[in-house]
Amino acid sequence: MAERKIIGIIPARYASARFPGKPLAMIGNTSMVERVYRQALKSKTLNHLVVATDDERIKLHVESFKGNVVMTSPDHQSGTDRCAEVINKADDKWDIIINIQGDEPFIDPAQIDLLISCFDDDQTQIATLIKKIVNKEDAKNPNLVKVVKNVFNYAMYFSRSEIPYNKKDADYFFSHVGIYGYRQDILEKISALHESRLEQMESLEQLRWLENGYSIKTATSDHENISIDTPEDLKKIKLK
């Protein structure tokens, strides 16, 4: 098999209603975005890594630790759209694009490699990770996105609701881990789609893709991700 060209993109915007300037927030002596960047560099399968931002302060900071950075529009509504702009600006063509969350400073590099392995299947258009929910009560949390998959490990639906309705078997809930991979031609197509009704109802962009007939392959990760959504989340982190 010929070597695939795989790029990781870390969307990092400055404006945030709950945590302005989050990418520059310090965790110990290292910023959020630098921690994500350095973790992603440990991936065994990424060929290139870049931060996509809309803010000069973030750009200068990434350059200060010798990271790759691309300026993008401040008008994007999602990290997917920001990734699409990076790809549209690039002279290179990529086989796979990985959208790495900029607010998970302790992402496991093995998760990136697991996600990329989904594309060993030529039929995979989009891929994402899921994790088994251990505590059934978590399935009722609307901030934890749930996913139902089929026997071929393709997502059937994502929801903030408790899905599936599960009266007896408490061992069949999966949460969504917000990292995505796309083939370049698919990324270009889904970034041109209009917001869908289901997406509006659930506030989940991946429903736009499902509603328009695209498939999302899933792989199950055991790693417990820590997302930083507010300054209060930052205070809970305990560095080793």
Residue by residue, pLDDT tens for the chain (240 residues) are 568 999 999 999 888 777 888 899 999 899 999 999 999 999 999 999 999 999 999 999 999 999 999 999 999 888 999 999 999 998 889 999 999 999 889 999 999 999 999 999 999 999 999 999 988 888 889 989 999 999 999 999 999 999 988 766 666 899 999 899 999 999 999 999 999 999 999 999 999 999 999 999 999 999 887 777 777 777 777 665
pLDDT at site 57 = 96
pLDDT at site 228: 75
The confidence score (pLDDT) of residue 218 equals 98
Q: Which domains are seen in the chain, by residue range?
A: 6-225 (3.90.550.10)
Instruction: Identify whether the C-beta of residue 119 lies closer than 8 Å to the C-beta of residue 181.
Output: yes
pLDDT of 8 reads 98
Q: What is the pLDDT of residue 235?
A: 73
Roughly what angle, to the nearest 10 degrees, separates helices 32-40 and 109-117? 50
What is the structure's pLDDT at 181?
Answer: 98
> How far separated are the first and last CA of the chain, in Å rounded?
40
pTM of the model: 0.94
> Could you give the 3-state DSSP secondary structure of residue 140?
helix
